[in-house]
């Protein structure tokens, strides 16, 4: 395989094999049960075989198929354990690794983009990739000035492959449903497709990364490597070591989990306020846990001497004014129990369409369990909590499901919504105890009410809802 398997017929056939393979394995499982095997054992074997095929096909294709797999991997916490368990190991692989493209292909891209004398730019260059992602792979090298760098090389034909994969996956969305029960796959694929052009443009990525690197330079909590060089299909940035977040999820200490979760939440909410940009690809492969600098113990009250390294700025949401104030105000009013105020704001901003009438009290009841993490000073995220929330909304018999179907997500909030859900998914994978409310108070516009003038009494403010810590 010289590069991505680009022939449309080949790629379509591979993707079609996913739902067809699932159907075949279901028939195989039925035969096994008739033959005497228990439903539990057959079910476990069925999920394991499906997980293995899912990784093999998505990983080989890279492109949009792998991007889809990475997106799914941060949502697995919401699935029932008997479904999520077999997928977890296979999908987590997509966060850190994929079959590499041949060395000859890498050299050809570097010849074309950096010039035939490209080796003179480096003191050292490792041909074996250190990481592979959906549209490119990363090689460790030493720049001519002695800096250790990460060289990201885009797969030839990546753009064509991304669009082709996501188009085909969109057509198969209904058939893919049984692979990931309880998840609405079609909107996820549509949103990923909308971001293809931006992610392929390394110039845009370099600009976004530089802006973050400048803003977070010297920050005690967040490390963003600076851009060293950029051209079409090649991006060179400073190298950072550290523990991949996927490894922390797998076997990190509780101290590492809590610190990583706190810093991930801090970066999510502080980034837009400080740079006007929202990092919009929060899967674990894009984060590292690094030791604090010598003599720097982090913020007072933090769990330990760790910093968060942030990689891959190929997908960002541009928010010049920071996160929308509506989000903070709606959260605050929900906490205050102001059902009418929340409902009026949701109608005003298009979350409730004009031709739909809902009960404000029912809307408040729908929202309160979701915002449980900010009702307390600190909250322990868990897969069990996320499954409970997903089950409440997915159950067609529940009032939450019926109400949720009538709500609308305005286009301006689509990416913010996905990033928030993905981040919560990672926090649940970490099992981290996080002071989320503290981060919102510091960075989310509208969350902290404006103080009244001295001597003025606040009138008509509802009592806060009862706050309890999650088990």
Asked if the model's pLDDT at residue 48 lies above 80, the reply is no
Tokens for 355, please give them: 């031709």
Answer whether 308's CB lies under 8 Å from 223's CB.
yes
- Please give the Cα distance from 325 to 109 (Å, whole number): 44
pTM for this prediction: 0.76
- Please give the Cα distance from 73 to 251 (Å, whole number): 17
Asked if the model's pLDDT at residue 304 lies above 60, the reply is no
More confident residue, 42 or 305: 305
- Please give the Cα distance from 149 to 137 (Å, whole number): 13
Closest CA to 416 of 300, 291, 321: 321
More confident residue, 139 or 81: 139
Residue 466's pLDDT is: 41
Range picked from 11-15, 32-36, 74-78, 111-115 for highest mean pLDDT = 111-115
Closest CA to 194 of 213, 212, 171, 170: 170
Q: Residues near 263 by Cβ (< 8 Å), separated by ≥ 6? A: 221, 222, 306, 307, 308
Phi, psi of 100 (to 5 degrees): -75, 160
Asked if the model's pLDDT at residue 84 lies above 70, the reply is no
**Chain position carrying tokens 């293809």:** 196
Residue 28's pLDDT is: 36
Question: Distances from the Cα of 36 to the Cαs of 22, 43, 44, 45, 85, in angstroms?
Answer: 21, 13, 15, 14, 24
Phi, psi of 124 (to 5 degrees): -145, 150
Percent of residues, the chain, with pLDDT higher than 90? 48
Q: Where in the chain are the domains?
A: 8-99+159-197, 325-443
Asked if the model's pLDDT at residue 329 lies above 80, the reply is yes
Q: Mean of the pLDDT values across residues 254-280?
A: 96
**Alpha-helical regions (H) of 276-398:** 325-336, 339-348, 360-367, 383-394
pLDDT band at residue 289, thresholds of 50, 70 and 90?
Answer: very high
How does pLDDT run across 206-220, given as a tens digit for each residue? 999 999 999 999 999
Question: Distances from the Cα of 175 to the Cαs of 68, 83, 172, in angstroms?
Answer: 15, 17, 5
Chain-centroid distance, C-alpha 268? 11
Q: Mean of the pLDDT values across residues 155-182?
A: 63
Phi, psi of 390 (to 5 degrees): -65, -40
List, as own/partner pairs, every contact residues 169-177 make where C-beta atoms lie below 8 angstroms and the sequence separation is at least 24, other chains included.
Answer: 169/15, 169/64, 169/65, 169/68, 172/15, 172/16, 172/18, 172/19, 175/18, 175/19, 176/18, 176/19
Residue 156's pLDDT is: 84
Sign for the CA dihedral angle at 228, 234, 235, 238 comes to: negative
**Alpha-helical regions (H) of 252-359:** 254-275, 325-336, 339-348
Asked if the model's pLDDT at residue 470 lies above 50, the reply is no
Residue 218's pLDDT is: 93
Asked if the model's pLDDT at residue 100 lies above 90, the reply is no
């Amino acid at each position: 395989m010289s590069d991505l398997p680009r022939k449309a017929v080949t790629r379509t056939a591979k993707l079609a094999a996913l739902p067809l393979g699932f159907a075949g394995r279901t028939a195989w499982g039925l035969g096994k049960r008739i033959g005497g095997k228990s439903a539990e054992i057959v079910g476990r074997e069925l999920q394991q075989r499906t997980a293995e095929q899912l990784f093999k096909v998505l990983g080989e294709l890279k492109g949009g198929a792998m991007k889809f797999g990475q997106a799914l991997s941060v949502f697995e916490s919401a699935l029932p354990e008997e479904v999520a368990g077999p997928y977890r190991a296979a999908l987590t692989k997509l966060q850190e690794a994929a079959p590499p493209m041949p060395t000859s292909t890498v050299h050809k891209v570097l010849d074309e983009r950096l010039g035939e004398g490209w080796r003179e730019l480096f003191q050292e260059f490792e041909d074996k990739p250190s990481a592979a992602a959906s549209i490119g792979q990363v090689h460790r090298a030493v720049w001519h000035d002695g800096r250790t760098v990460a060289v990201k090389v885009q797969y030839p034909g990546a753009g064509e492959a991304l669009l082709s994969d996501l188009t085909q996956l969109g057509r198969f969305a209904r058939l893919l449903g049984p692979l990931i029960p309880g998840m609405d796959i079609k909107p996820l694929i549509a949103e990923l497709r909308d971001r293809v052009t931006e992610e392929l443009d390394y110039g845009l990525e370099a600009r976004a990364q530089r802006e973050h690197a400048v803003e977070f330079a010297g920050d005690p909590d967040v490390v963003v490597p600076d851009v060293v060089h950029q051209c079409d299909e090649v991006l060179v940035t400073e190298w950072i070591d550290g523990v991949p977040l996927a490894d922390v999820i797998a076997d990190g200490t509780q101290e590492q989990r809590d610190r990583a979760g706190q810093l991930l939440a801090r970066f999510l909410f502080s980034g837009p306020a400080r740079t006007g940009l929202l990092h919009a690809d929060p899967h674990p492969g894009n984060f590292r846990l690094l030791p604090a600098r010598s003599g720097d113990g982090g913020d007072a009250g933090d769990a330990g001497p760790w910093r968060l390294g942030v990689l891959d700025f190929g997908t960002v949401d541009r928010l010049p004014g920071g996160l929308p104030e509506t989000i903070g105000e709606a959260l605050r009013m929900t906490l205050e129990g102001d059902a009418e105020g929340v409902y009026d704001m949701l109608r005003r901003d298009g979350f409730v369409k004009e031709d739909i009438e809902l009960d404000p009290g029912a809307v408040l009841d729908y929202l309160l369990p979701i915002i449980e993490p900010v009702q307390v000073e600190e909250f322990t995220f868990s897969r069990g909590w996320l499954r409970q929330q997903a089950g409440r909304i997915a159950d067609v018999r529940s009032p939450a499901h019926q109400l949720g179907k009538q709500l609308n997500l305005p286009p301006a909030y689509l990416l913010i919504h996905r990033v928030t859900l993905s981040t919560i998914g990672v926090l649940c994978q970490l099992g981290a105890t996080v002071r989320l409310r503290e981060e919102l108070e510091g960075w989310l516009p509208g969350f902290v009410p404006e103080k009244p003038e001295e001597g003025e009494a606040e009138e008509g403010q509802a009592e806060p809802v009862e706050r309890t810590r999650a088990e």
